[in-house]
C-alpha cells in the first residue's frame, strides 16, 4: 500500500480524511480533483468500510473505470464491489432487480434516441397532427425536459403554465403525445434514457419501506463527481438516498460552480450554489492551487469569473511561475483569423518544439470549424475534429452539397439517391428501388430513367416534380455564380425551411452548419486573389465544388500527432500545452442567444473560463472584425470577456479589445454586474494609437479605375500601393504591395479596393 496521504497538499489531505458527514469539495481547474476523489474513496476503504457500501456517481463510465483502477493501485483492495458508475448505469442496475415493483419486466428494453423518435413519429402520425408544429426532435426534447423536472404526463396536463406555452407554440396536443408515449413505452416494457432516472425516483418514492430504506442502508457513503452538472431530478434522487433531513448520512459532492456549462442539457447550477442550505453542518474545502497553468492564464481566469454574481468565491493560484502572456490576434475577417491562427501554430511549433497534439483550437459552435479546417489543410497541418464530425462530413452539409453536385452533374447517382426524398417528397425507398432496378435493367443512368420507369400515379407525380425542380436548378446554374445558385437551391429545395423548423439545440446547430456552408460559398465568390495566372479564378458552382473536393477527398493518415479542434463545451476536462480560443466576438462568444439575459451571460462567461483554463503554457485569444453570416458581411465588436482581462496579462493589439472606447460601466450594468471593486468607478483603459480600418466606412472604388501608383485600401490586407496592372477587361489583374502582408495579385473584376489618393 502506498503512502497516499503524503502525495496531497494540506487542503487536499483535509478533504480526503474528512470522511464523515456532508462534505463539499470546490475544485478549481487543474487542482487535482480526480486525485482527491480517488484518494477519498481509498481512505474510506482503509477506514474499514466495505467497498459495497460506497456509491460513487460519475458522468462517464470511463471516469468510473479510471477511478477504480486508481483506487486499487493506492490501497491494493478489490474495487469490483464499489458501486461506481454513471447515474444511468447504476440506476439501471438497481431497476433490473426491483422492476416488478413498478410493473416493469426485469429484462426491460432501453430505447435509444432513434427508438424514441420513431415511436414519437408514429404517435404524431396516428393522431394526424401537423409535423411542422409537432417536430419530432422538439417533442422528444420537451418530454425529456418534463421528466428531468419530475413532471409526469398527468402533472404536465394540470400545469397551466406549460399548457399555455404549448398553446402559444401551436402544439396544444403535446400533453396527449406525452401521455401516449409513456403508455406505449410501459406497454412495450421499455424505458428511454430519461426513464432510467425518472422511473428510479418513482421506485424510491412509491416504495419507501422495502426499497428506499434498503438502499439507504446499503450506501453508507455517497460521492458525486462533477456535481455542478447535475439536474433537478438527479439531485432529487441523491437527497432521497442520503436522507438529507438529518440522519447523519455521509455525502461528498465534488465540483466547480465556475465550470457549470450545461444548462442547455438541464444542469442546475443552484444544486451546488445552494448545497449548504440543505446541509447546514456542511464542511467545505476549496482546492485553489492550480497545477496545470501558468500564472498569467490563472490570473486572467480569476479576473473573468469575478464578473459573475452567482458563484462560490475562490481564488485560484499557480505554482508554475508567471509564464508567457496571453496573445491577442485581431483579424479583419474570419478567413484572416483562421490564416493567422495557422501561422501562429507553425511559429509556436518551430520556436517551442511543440507537437501538433499539444495544440487545441476551441470555438463556440461547430459551424466555425470550416475556415480553420481549410487553413490547417492549406498549411499541411494535420488535425482532428474532436467530439464531432469534420465540417464537410456532417450530414446536413453533405445533404446540401448533394443538391449542388446533382445540379451540375445529373449523372451523379449517389447525390441523386441522397436527396431525391430529402426533404420528404413522397418518394420512398420502395419507389427508389424500382427506379434503380429499372435503370440497371435498361443500362441507363438513374437520372435518365426517372420519367420512364413504370410507377403508380402518386409516385410518378412526385418523381416528376423532383425532375422539374432539379431541371430548373440546372438551368439557373449556367446563368449565375456559385452563391447565387446555392441560395436559390437552399430556398426552393425546401432544405432551408426543413432545418429552420427544427428548433432543438441539434436542429439549430444543423441550421448553423448550413449557413456556415453558404457563407463559405459567398467567401469563395468574393475572394479576389489570383493564385495561378494560368488559371483565372472562376466563380461558378462547378469551380466551387472542385475546390471543395480538395478538402473532402484528402488521404487519411494514421498519425495521432494532430491539432485538436472542438467546441469549448467539448474541451471540459481536457488540457493542452497551447490553446487557441477563437471567434471572441459579441453575439458569437457570448452567443447572441444570451442577449439581455443575465443568467445566460453568466453561463457563457463560465464557458469562456473553462476554455482558457485548458491551456498549460500558451494561450491565444482571437477575434474577427467582420465575418459572413447568412451571406452578408456582419461587423462585430470584440467579446466583452476580453475587456475583463487586465492588460498586464496580454500581449498584442490590446487597445482593439476595449469596445472601441465604449463606456464599460454602462456596458456591464446593462447585462451583469462586474466585481464590486470595479463597478461604479471603472475607468476605461487608455487606447494605444493604432491605424485601423472601420469596415462600416469602407467604400470600394470601381475596378476599372485602379491604376499603377495609386494608394489603395483592402478590407483583408489593409493599405497598399498598386505596383502594376496587366490584362484587359474582366481578366485585368493588379499587383499590389500591402504593408502588412506583402505583394498580392488581385483580379480587379472581383477585388474590392478603395482608392486613397
Cell of 542: 462547378
Cell of 310: 452567482
**Contact status, residue 335 vs residue 371, Cβ threshold 8 Å:** yes
Half-sphere exposure of 676 (CA within 13 A, CB side): 3
225 an active-site residue?
yes
Q: What is the 3-state secondary structure (H, E, C) of 601-657?
A: HHHHHHHHHHHHCCEEEEEEEEEECEEEECCEEEECCECHHHHCCCHHHEECCHHHH
Q: Which of 12, 228, 259, 564 is the catalytic position?
A: 259
**Contact status, residue 738 vs residue 716, Cβ threshold 8 Å:** no
Query: What CA–CA distance (Å, rounded) separates 115 from 222?
Result: 33
Residue with cell 441523491: 238
Please name the residue ranges forming H helices in 245-327. Answer: 270-273, 275-278, 295-305
Name 141's bridge partners.
none
Query: What CA–CA distance (Å, rounded) separates 448 from 461?
Result: 16
14 an active-site residue?
no
Q: Which of 180, 192, 194, 226 is the catalytic position?
A: 226
SS3 of 314, please? coil
Strand order, beta sheet including 221-224 = 83-86, 54-58, 221-224, 250-255, 23-27, 283-287
Half-sphere exposure of 439 (CA within 13 A, CB side): 17
The C-alpha angle 724, 727, 732, rounded to 5 degrees, equals: 80
Residue with cell 469551380: 543
Query: What CA–CA distance (Å, rounded) separates 600 from 99?
Result: 39
Region of residue 264 (phi > 0: left; psi between -120 and 50: alpha; otherwise: beta): alpha
644 an active-site residue?
no
Query: What CA–CA distance (Å, rounded) separates 585 from 625?
Result: 8
DSSP string, 385-425: ETTS--GGGSHHHHHHHHHHHHHH-TT-HHHHHHHTTSS--
**Contact status, residue 278 vs residue 239, Cβ threshold 8 Å:** yes
Q: CA of 69: how far to CAs of 66, 74, 76, 79, 225, in Å?
A: 5, 9, 10, 8, 16
Name 477's bridge partners.
none
322 an active-site residue?
no
613 an active-site residue?
no
Name 529's bridge partners.
746
For 337, the enclosing helix (H) or strand (E) is helix 334-352
Buried b (16+ CB within 10 A) or exposed e, 383-416: bebbebebbbebebbbbbbbbbbbbbebebeebb
For 737, the enclosing helix (H) or strand (E) is strand 733-738
Cell of 385: 475534429
Residue partners of 332: CB distance under 8 A and separation at least 6? 624, 625, 626, 693, 695, 715, 716, 718
**Contact status, residue 174 vs residue 166, Cβ threshold 8 Å:** yes
**Contact status, residue 489 vs residue 546, Cβ threshold 8 Å:** no
For 141, the enclosing helix (H) or strand (E) is helix 136-148
**Contact status, residue 528 vs residue 744, Cβ threshold 8 Å:** no
Q: Which of 180, 194, 195, 225 is the catalytic position?
A: 225
Considering only the C-alpha atoms of the chain, give the largest distance between any 2 of them, rounded to a whole number of Å.
91
Name 107's bridge partners.
none
Q: Which of 14, 18, 34, 577 is the catalytic position?
A: 34
SS3 of 525, please? helix
Q: Which of 325, 614, 658, 716 is the catalytic position?
A: 614
259 an active-site residue?
yes
The one-character DSSP state at 358 is G
Closest alpha carbon to 237 in 196, 186, 272: 196
Give the active site residues. 33-34, 225-226, 259, 614
Amino acid at each position: 500500500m502506498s503512502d497516499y496521504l503524503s502525495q496531497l497538499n494540506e487542503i487536499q489531505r483535509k478533504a480526503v480524511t474528512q470522511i464523515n458527514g456532508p462534505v463539499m469539495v470546490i475544485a478549481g481547474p487543474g487542482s487535482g480533483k480526480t486525485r482527491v476523489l480517488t484518494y477519498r474513496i481509498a481512505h474510506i476503504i482503509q477506514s474499514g468500510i466495505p467497498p459495497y457500501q460506497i456509491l460513487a456517481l460519475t458522468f462517464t463510465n470511463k471516469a468510473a473505470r479510471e477511478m477504480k483502477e486508481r483506487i486499487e493501485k493506492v490501497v491494493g483492495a478489490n474495487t469490483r464491489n464499489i458501486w461506481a458508475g454513471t447515474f444511468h448505469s447504476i440506476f439501471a442496475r438497481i431497476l433490473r432487480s426491483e422492476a416488478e415493483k413498478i410493473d416493469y419486466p426485469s429484462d426491460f428494453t432501453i430505447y435509444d434516441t432513434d427508438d424514441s423518435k420513431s415511436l414519437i413519429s408514429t404517435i404524431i402520425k396516428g393522431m394526424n397532427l401537423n409535423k411542422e408544429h409537432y417536430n419530432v426532435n422538439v417533442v422528444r426534447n420537451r418530454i425529456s425536459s418534463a421528466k428531468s423536472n419530475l413532471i409526469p404526463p398527468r402533472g404536465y396536463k394540470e400545469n397551466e403554465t406549460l399548457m399555455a406555452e404549448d398553446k402559444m407554440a401551436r402544439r396544444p396536443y403535446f400533453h396527449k403525445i406525452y401521455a401516449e408515449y409513456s403508455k406505449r413505452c410501459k406497454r412495450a416494457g421499455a424505458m428511454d434514457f430519461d426513464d432510467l432516472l425518472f422511473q428510479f425516483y418513482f421506485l424510491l418514492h412509491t416504495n419507501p419501506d422495502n426499497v428506499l430504506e434498503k438502499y439507504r442502508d446499503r450506501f453508507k457513503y455517497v460521492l458525486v463527481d462533477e456535481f455542478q452538472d447535475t439536474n433537478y431530478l438527479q439531485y432529487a434522487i441523491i437527497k432521497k438516498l442520503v436522507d438529507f433531513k438529518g440522519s447523519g448520512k455521509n455525502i461528498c459532492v465534488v465540483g466547480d460552480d465556475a465550470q457549470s456549462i450545461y444548462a442547455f442539457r438541464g444542469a442546475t447550477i443552484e444544486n451546488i450554489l445552494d448545497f449548504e442550505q440543505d446541509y447546514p453542518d456542511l464542511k467545505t474545502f476549496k482546492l485553489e492551487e492550480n497545477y496545470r497553468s501558468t500564472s498569467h492564464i490563472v490570473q486572467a481566469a480569476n479576473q473573468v469569473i469575478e464578473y459573475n454574481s452567482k458563484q462560490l468565491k475562490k481564488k485560484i493560484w499557480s505554482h508554475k511561475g508567471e509564464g508567457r502572456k496571453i496573445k491577442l490576434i485581431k483579424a479583419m475577417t474570419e478567413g484572416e483569423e483562421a490564416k493567422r491562427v495557422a501561422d501562429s501554430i507553425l511559429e509556436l511549433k518551430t520556436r517551442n518544439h511543440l507537437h501538433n497534439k499539444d495544440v487545441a483550437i476551441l470555438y463556440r459552435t461547430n459551424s466555425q470549424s470550416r475556415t480553420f479546417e481549410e487553413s490547417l489543410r492549406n498549411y499541411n497541418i494535420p488535425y482532428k475534429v474532436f467530439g464531432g464530425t469534420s465540417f464537410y462530413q456532417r450530414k446536413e452539409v453533405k445533404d446540401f452539397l448533394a443538391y449542388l453536385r446533382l445540379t451540375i452533374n445529373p449523372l451523379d447517382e449517389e447525390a441523386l439517391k441522397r436527396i431525391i426524398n430529402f426533404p420528404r417528397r413522397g418518394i420512398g425507398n420502395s419507389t427508389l428501388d424500382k427506379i434503380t432496378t429499372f435503370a440497371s435493367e435498361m443500362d441507363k443512368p438513374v437520372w435518365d430513367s426517372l420519367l420512364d420507369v413504370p410507377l403508380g400515379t402518386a409516385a410518378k407525380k412526385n418523381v416528376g416534380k423532383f425532375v422539374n425542380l432539379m431541371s430548373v436548378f440546372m438551368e439557373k446554374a449556367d446563368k449565375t455564380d456559385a452563391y447565387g445558385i446555392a441560395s436559390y437551391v437552399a430556398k426552393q429545395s425546401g432544405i432551408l425551411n426543413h432545418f429552420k423548423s427544427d428548433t432543438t439545440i441539434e436542429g439549430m446547430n444543423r441550421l448553423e452548419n448550413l449557413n456556415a456552408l453558404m457563407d463559405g460559398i459567398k467567401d469563395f465568390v468574393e475572394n479576389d486573389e489570383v493564385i495561378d495566372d494560368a488559371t483565372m479564378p472562376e466563380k461558378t458552382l462547378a469551380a466551387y465544388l472542385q475546390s471543395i473536393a480538395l478538402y473532402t477527398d484528402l488521404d487519411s493518415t494514421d498519425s495521432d500527432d494532430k491539432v485538436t479542434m472542438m467546441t469549448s463545451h467539448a474541451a471540459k476536462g481536457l488540457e493542452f500545452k497551447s490553446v487557441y480560443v477563437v471567434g471572441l466576438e459579441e453575439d458569437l462568444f457570448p452567443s447572441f442567444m444570451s442577449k439581455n439575459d443575465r443568467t445566460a451571460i453568466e453561463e457563457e462567461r463560465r464557458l469562456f473560463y473553462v476554455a482558457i483554463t485548458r491551456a498549460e503554457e500558451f494561450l491565444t485569444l482571437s477575434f474577427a472584425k467582420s465575418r459572413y453570416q447568412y451571406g452578408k458581411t456582419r461587423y462585430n465588436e470584440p467579446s466583452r470577456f476580453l475587456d475583463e482581462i487586465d492588460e498586464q496579462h496580454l500581449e498584442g493589439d490590446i487597445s482593439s479589445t476595449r469596445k472601441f472606447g465604449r463606456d464599460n460601466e454602462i456596458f456591464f450594468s446593462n447585462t451583469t454586474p462586474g466585481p464590486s471593486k470595479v463597478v461604479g468607478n471603472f475607468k476605461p483603459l487608455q487606447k494605444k494609437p493604432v491605424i485601423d480600418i472601420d469596415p462600416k466606412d469602407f467604400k470600394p472604388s470601381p475596378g476599372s479605375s485602379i491604376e499603377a501608383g495609386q494608394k489603395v485600401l483592402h478590407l483583408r490586407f489593409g493599405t497598399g500601393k498598386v505596383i502594376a496592372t496587366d490584362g484587359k477587361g474582366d481578366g485585368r489583374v493588379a499587383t499590389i504591395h500591402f504593408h502588412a502582408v506583402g505583394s498580392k495579385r488581385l483580379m480587379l473584376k472581383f477585388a474590392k479596393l478603395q482608392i486613397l489618393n
